[in-house]
Protein backbone atom coordinates (compact mmCIF):
# COMPACT_ATOMS: atom_id res chain seq x y z
CA UNK A 1 0.00 0.00 0.00
CA UNK A 2 1.39 3.39 -0.82
CA UNK A 3 1.73 5.82 2.06
CA UNK A 4 -0.44 8.33 0.23
CA UNK A 5 -3.57 6.19 0.47
CA UNK A 6 -4.24 5.29 4.06
CA UNK A 7 -5.65 8.61 5.20
CA UNK A 8 -8.10 9.18 2.34
CA UNK A 9 -11.78 9.44 3.32
CA UNK A 10 -12.77 6.60 1.06
CA UNK A 11 -9.97 4.39 -0.29
CA UNK A 12 -10.24 3.66 -4.02
CA UNK A 13 -8.03 0.60 -3.82
CA UNK A 14 -9.94 -2.72 -3.85
CA UNK A 15 -10.51 -4.41 -0.52
CA UNK A 16 -8.30 -7.43 0.22
CA UNK A 17 -8.61 -8.18 3.95
CA UNK A 18 -6.00 -9.99 6.02
CA UNK A 19 -6.49 -11.05 9.65
CA UNK A 20 -3.60 -10.71 12.07
CA UNK A 21 -3.17 -11.89 15.65
CA UNK A 22 -2.18 -9.11 18.03
CA UNK A 23 -0.37 -10.43 21.05
CA UNK A 24 0.56 -8.08 23.90
CA UNK A 25 1.85 -8.88 27.38
CA UNK A 26 -1.68 -8.65 28.83
CA UNK A 27 -3.97 -9.11 25.83
CA UNK A 28 -4.48 -11.05 22.64
CA UNK A 29 -7.01 -10.33 19.94
CA UNK A 30 -7.53 -10.82 16.23
CA UNK A 31 -7.57 -7.81 13.97
CA UNK A 32 -8.85 -7.57 10.40
CA UNK A 33 -6.70 -5.26 8.29
CA UNK A 34 -7.17 -4.21 4.68
CA UNK A 35 -5.72 -2.36 1.74
CA UNK A 36 -6.26 1.39 1.90
CA UNK A 37 -5.95 1.34 5.70
CA UNK A 38 -2.74 1.93 7.67
CA UNK A 39 -0.50 -1.08 8.33
CA UNK A 40 -2.26 -3.88 6.45
CA UNK A 41 -1.09 -7.32 7.51
CA UNK A 42 0.92 -6.30 10.58
CA UNK A 43 0.72 -4.35 13.79
CA UNK A 44 2.77 -1.19 13.27
CA UNK A 45 6.00 -1.07 15.30
CA UNK A 46 5.12 2.31 16.82
CA UNK A 47 1.63 1.14 17.75
CA UNK A 48 3.09 -1.98 19.39
CA UNK A 49 5.49 0.20 21.40
CA UNK A 50 2.63 2.42 22.59
CA UNK A 51 0.45 -0.57 23.53
CA UNK A 52 3.29 -2.38 25.31
CA UNK A 53 4.69 0.60 27.21
CA UNK A 54 1.71 2.83 27.99
CA UNK A 55 0.79 3.18 31.67
CA UNK A 56 -2.35 1.29 32.70
CA UNK A 57 -5.34 3.41 31.66
CA UNK A 58 -7.90 4.54 34.26
CA UNK A 59 -10.73 2.06 34.89
CA UNK A 60 -13.39 4.52 33.74
CA UNK A 61 -13.68 7.72 31.73
CA UNK A 62 -14.03 8.94 28.17
CA UNK A 63 -11.09 7.99 25.97
CA UNK A 64 -10.08 8.73 22.38
CA UNK A 65 -8.08 6.77 19.83
CA UNK A 66 -7.26 9.57 17.39
CA UNK A 67 -6.79 8.11 13.90
CA UNK A 68 -7.94 4.59 14.77
CA UNK A 69 -7.05 2.83 11.49
CA UNK A 70 -8.13 -0.82 11.86
CA UNK A 71 -8.54 -0.20 15.59
CA UNK A 72 -5.68 -1.86 17.50
CA UNK A 73 -5.39 1.01 19.99
CA UNK A 74 -9.13 1.42 20.49
CA UNK A 75 -9.63 -2.33 21.00
CA UNK A 76 -6.73 -2.60 23.47
CA UNK A 77 -7.93 0.44 25.43
CA UNK A 78 -11.48 -0.90 25.54
CA UNK A 79 -10.38 -4.34 26.73
CA UNK A 80 -8.07 -2.86 29.37
CA UNK A 81 -10.74 -0.48 30.65
CA UNK A 82 -14.16 -2.11 30.13
CA UNK A 83 -15.73 0.59 32.29
CA UNK A 84 -14.59 3.39 29.95
CA UNK A 85 -16.11 4.68 26.72
CA UNK A 86 -13.53 4.63 23.91
CA UNK A 87 -14.13 6.88 20.93
CA UNK A 88 -12.37 5.61 17.79
CA UNK A 89 -12.11 8.40 15.24
CA UNK A 90 -10.81 8.31 11.69
CA UNK A 91 -11.43 10.16 8.43
CA UNK A 92 -11.06 6.90 6.51
CA UNK A 93 -14.41 5.13 6.11
CA UNK A 94 -12.85 1.69 5.57
CA UNK A 95 -10.79 2.17 8.74
CA UNK A 96 -13.97 2.96 10.70
CA UNK A 97 -15.69 -0.15 9.32
CA UNK A 98 -12.70 -2.31 10.31
CA UNK A 99 -12.56 -0.82 13.80
CA UNK A 100 -16.27 -1.49 14.30
CA UNK A 101 -15.84 -5.10 13.14
CA UNK A 102 -12.67 -5.65 15.16
CA UNK A 103 -14.27 -4.25 18.32
CA UNK A 104 -17.23 -6.62 18.02
CA UNK A 105 -14.98 -9.59 17.30
CA UNK A 106 -12.81 -8.78 20.35
CA UNK A 107 -15.86 -8.40 22.59
CA UNK A 108 -15.08 -4.73 23.17
CA UNK A 109 -18.61 -3.32 23.31
CA UNK A 110 -17.44 0.01 24.80
CA UNK A 111 -15.94 1.33 21.53
CA UNK A 112 -17.81 4.11 19.71
CA UNK A 113 -16.60 4.51 16.12
CA UNK A 114 -17.08 7.93 14.54
CA UNK A 115 -16.00 10.27 11.79
CA UNK A 116 -14.27 13.33 13.29
CA UNK A 117 -17.20 15.70 12.75
CA UNK A 118 -19.62 13.24 14.37
CA UNK A 119 -18.10 13.60 17.84
CA UNK A 120 -20.17 16.10 19.84
CA UNK A 121 -18.18 19.29 20.37
CA UNK A 122 -18.80 19.25 24.13
CA UNK A 123 -17.21 15.79 24.57
CA UNK A 124 -14.04 15.97 26.70
CA UNK A 125 -11.45 13.20 26.94
CA UNK A 126 -9.72 11.85 30.01
CA UNK A 127 -7.25 9.97 27.86
CA UNK A 128 -6.09 10.19 24.24
CA UNK A 129 -3.84 7.55 22.72
CA UNK A 130 -2.68 8.01 19.15
CA UNK A 131 -0.24 6.94 16.50
CA UNK A 132 -0.95 10.20 14.66
CA UNK A 133 -0.97 10.62 10.87
CA UNK A 134 2.38 12.38 10.51
CA UNK A 135 2.30 11.96 6.74
CA UNK A 136 -0.66 14.34 6.27
CA UNK A 137 1.93 17.16 6.57
CA UNK A 138 3.04 19.44 9.34
CA UNK A 139 0.30 22.07 9.01
CA UNK A 140 -2.55 19.54 8.89
CA UNK A 141 -1.02 17.56 11.76
CA UNK A 142 -0.72 20.66 13.93
CA UNK A 143 -4.36 21.56 13.19
CA UNK A 144 -5.44 18.01 14.05
CA UNK A 145 -3.54 18.00 17.34
CA UNK A 146 -4.81 21.41 18.40
CA UNK A 147 -8.37 20.32 17.58
CA UNK A 148 -8.26 17.18 19.75
CA UNK A 149 -5.70 17.94 22.47
CA UNK A 150 -7.74 21.04 23.31
CA UNK A 151 -10.50 18.67 24.28
CA UNK A 152 -8.51 16.94 26.99
CA UNK A 153 -10.16 17.22 30.39
CA UNK A 154 -8.10 19.39 32.79
CA UNK A 155 -6.76 16.26 34.49
CA UNK A 156 -6.50 14.30 31.22
CA UNK A 157 -3.43 13.22 29.29
CA UNK A 158 -2.47 12.11 25.80
CA UNK A 159 0.10 9.58 24.62
CA UNK A 160 1.50 9.98 21.13
CA UNK A 161 3.93 7.62 19.45
CA UNK A 162 6.02 9.31 16.76
CA UNK A 163 9.03 8.18 14.76
CA UNK A 164 12.17 10.14 15.45
CA UNK A 165 13.01 10.47 11.77
CA UNK A 166 9.51 11.82 11.11
CA UNK A 167 10.04 14.68 13.52
CA UNK A 168 9.11 13.55 17.04
CA UNK A 169 11.52 16.01 18.64
CA UNK A 170 10.38 19.04 16.66
CA UNK A 171 6.76 18.03 17.31
CA UNK A 172 7.45 17.86 21.05
CA UNK A 173 9.02 21.32 20.94
CA UNK A 174 6.07 22.70 18.98
CA UNK A 175 3.59 21.22 21.47
CA UNK A 176 5.49 22.87 24.34
CA UNK A 177 5.34 26.17 22.46
CA UNK A 178 1.55 25.74 22.28
CA UNK A 179 1.56 25.55 26.11
CA UNK A 180 1.15 21.85 26.61
CA UNK A 181 3.41 20.04 29.00
CA UNK A 182 5.34 17.30 27.16
CA UNK A 183 7.13 14.42 28.82
CA UNK A 184 9.37 12.19 26.71
CA UNK A 185 8.38 8.87 28.27
CA UNK A 186 10.32 6.40 26.14
CA UNK A 187 12.75 6.50 23.24
CA UNK A 188 13.26 3.15 21.56
CA UNK A 189 13.74 1.57 18.14
CA UNK A 190 13.51 4.92 16.38
CA UNK A 191 10.28 5.95 18.12
CA UNK A 192 9.44 8.34 20.89
CA UNK A 193 6.47 8.03 23.22
CA UNK A 194 5.29 11.51 24.24
CA UNK A 195 2.94 12.19 27.15
CA UNK A 196 1.05 15.46 26.82
CA UNK A 197 -0.90 17.18 29.56
CA UNK A 198 -2.67 20.53 29.66
CA UNK A 199 -0.98 23.34 31.60
CA UNK A 200 -3.43 25.46 33.60
C1 LIG B 1 -0.49 6.24 11.60
S2 LIG B 1 -2.15 5.75 11.31
C3 LIG B 1 -2.54 4.88 12.83
C4 LIG B 1 -3.67 3.91 12.68
C5 LIG B 1 -3.95 3.03 13.91
N6 LIG B 1 -4.24 3.84 15.08
C7 LIG B 1 -2.79 2.12 14.20
O8 LIG B 1 -2.08 2.37 15.17
O9 LIG B 1 -2.59 1.15 13.43
C10 LIG B 1 -3.03 7.30 11.45
C11 LIG B 1 -4.50 7.27 11.14
O12 LIG B 1 -4.99 8.61 11.21
C13 LIG B 1 -6.03 8.76 10.25
N14 LIG B 1 -6.25 10.20 9.97
C15 LIG B 1 -5.65 10.98 9.03
N16 LIG B 1 -6.13 12.23 9.08
C17 LIG B 1 -7.05 12.24 10.09
C18 LIG B 1 -7.91 13.25 10.62
N19 LIG B 1 -7.90 14.50 10.14
N20 LIG B 1 -8.73 12.93 11.62
C21 LIG B 1 -8.77 11.66 12.12
N22 LIG B 1 -7.97 10.66 11.64
C23 LIG B 1 -7.14 10.95 10.64
C24 LIG B 1 -5.55 7.94 9.07
O25 LIG B 1 -6.63 7.61 8.21
C26 LIG B 1 -4.91 6.75 9.78
O27 LIG B 1 -5.83 5.69 9.93
**pLDDT above 60: residue 4:** no
Residue 124 lies in a domain: yes
Query: What number is the average pLDDT over the span 17-41?
Result: 97
CA of 5 to the centre of ligand 1 (A): 11
Kindly state the DSSP code that residue 38 receives in the 8-state scheme.
S
Provide the pLDDT for residue 9.
Answer: 78
Question: Which residue lies with its CA nearest to atom 4 of ligand 1?
Answer: 69
CB distance 67 to ligand 1 below 6 Å:
yes
Asked whether residue 107 is domain-assigned, the answer is yes
Q: Measure the N-to-C terminal CA separation of the chain; round to a whole number of Å.
A: 42
CA distances from 194 to 25, 51, 54, 122, 173 (A): 21, 13, 10, 25, 11
Instruction: Report the pLDDT value the prediction gives residue 121, as an integer from 0 to 100.
Output: 95
pLDDT of residue 12: 83
Residue 39 has pLDDT above 80, yes or no: yes
CB 1 within 8 A of CB 40: yes
Structure confidence at residue 5 (pLDDT): 58
Domain membership flag for residue 155: yes
What is the distance, to the nearest Å, from the Cα of residue 80 to the centroid of all Cα atoms in its chain?
15
Task: Check residue 56 and report its DSSP letter.
Answer: P
Task: List pLDDT tens digits, range 73-126.
Answer: 999 999 999 999 999 999 999 999 999 999 999 999 999 999 999 999 999 999
Q: What is the pLDDT of residues 140-159, one digit of tens each?
A: 999 999 999 999 999 999 99
Q: With a 6 A CB cut-off, is 91 part of the ligand 1 pocket?
A: yes
Structural domain contains residue 57: yes
Q: Structural domain tally of the chain? A: 1
CATH number at residue 182: 3.40.50.150
Q: Is 56 exposed, middle or buried (0-12, 13-18, 19+ CB in 10 A)?
A: exposed
Our answer on whether the CB atom of 97 is closer than 6 Å to any ligand 1 atom is: no
Q: Which of 190, 188, 140 is nearest to 167 (CA)?
A: 190
Quickly list H helices, 7-164.
45-53, 72-80, 93-106, 138-149
**Looking at the domain assignment, is residue 91 inside a domain?**
yes
Does 170 fall in a domain? yes
Ligand 1 centroid, distance to 116 Cα (angstroms): 11
Does 187 reside within a domain?
A: yes
Probe target for ligand 1 pocket from 90, 140, 191, with the most ligand atoms within 8 Å of CB: 90
Measure the CA–CA gap between 68 and 39, rounded to whole angstroms. 11
Burial of 171 (0-12, 13-18, 19+ CB in 10 A): buried
Give dist(CA 162, CA 132) in Å, integer.
Answer: 7
pLDDT of residue 95: 97
Q: In the chain, what percentage of residues exceed pLDDT 70? A: 96
8 A C-beta contact, residue 145 and residue 170: no
DSSP letter assigned to residue 55: P
Distance 200 CA to ligand 1 centre (A): 28
Q: Which domain holds residue 66?
A: 44-198
Give the strand order in the sheet containing 180-188: 111-114, 83-89, 60-66, 125-130, 152-163, 191-198, 180-188
Residue 19 lies in a domain: no
Which of 11, 34, 9, 7 is CA-nearest to residue 141?
7
Cβ of 44 less than 6 Å from ligand 1 = yes
Amino acid sequence: MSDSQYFHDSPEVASDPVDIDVSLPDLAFRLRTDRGVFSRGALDTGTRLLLAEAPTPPATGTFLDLGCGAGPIAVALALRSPGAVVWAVDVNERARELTALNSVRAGADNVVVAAPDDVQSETRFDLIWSNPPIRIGKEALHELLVRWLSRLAPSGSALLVVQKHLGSDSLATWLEQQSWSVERLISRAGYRLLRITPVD
